[in-house]
Amino acid sequence: MPYKTTQIDVIEATGAERGEYPEALWPLFDPEEGMTLEATVSARMVRNDYGVPGSPVWFEAEDLEIDLITLNGVEYTVSELHETYGGNIADRLEAYIFEAADKIEWDHVPNVEFT
């Protein structure tokens, strides 16, 4: 089962409207600037197939981890985010990032290499 850890940006968003994000994240909004959010996530890419000769082969992302969060121009690790904003906001932000990562078709991301 060959795999490779790969890293992609899952969110690059600037939201001027609070309603674009979960209510728990509204305290992060600047009234004039809105909120800018970027996140880089790593995953272990696992090769899959149907187990019969000639079947299609695809890769799936497993063991997702958030590597870096850039929030309003400031970079945070997950632990730094928790220290700075506390559990409720940090937990909801993590969930929001993982939700975005789950929607990505990782095997169609440009510049991702598989082994």
At 70-111, the pLDDT tens digits run 888 899 999 999 999 888 889 988 998 888 888 777 666 655
- On whether the pTM is more than 0.85, the answer is no
pLDDT (tens digit per residue) in 25-65: 778 887 777 788 888 888 887 888 899 999 998 878 888 88
Question: String of b and e for 47-86 (b: at least 16 CB within 10 Å)?
Answer: eeeeeeeeeeeebebeebebebbbbeeeebebeebbeebe
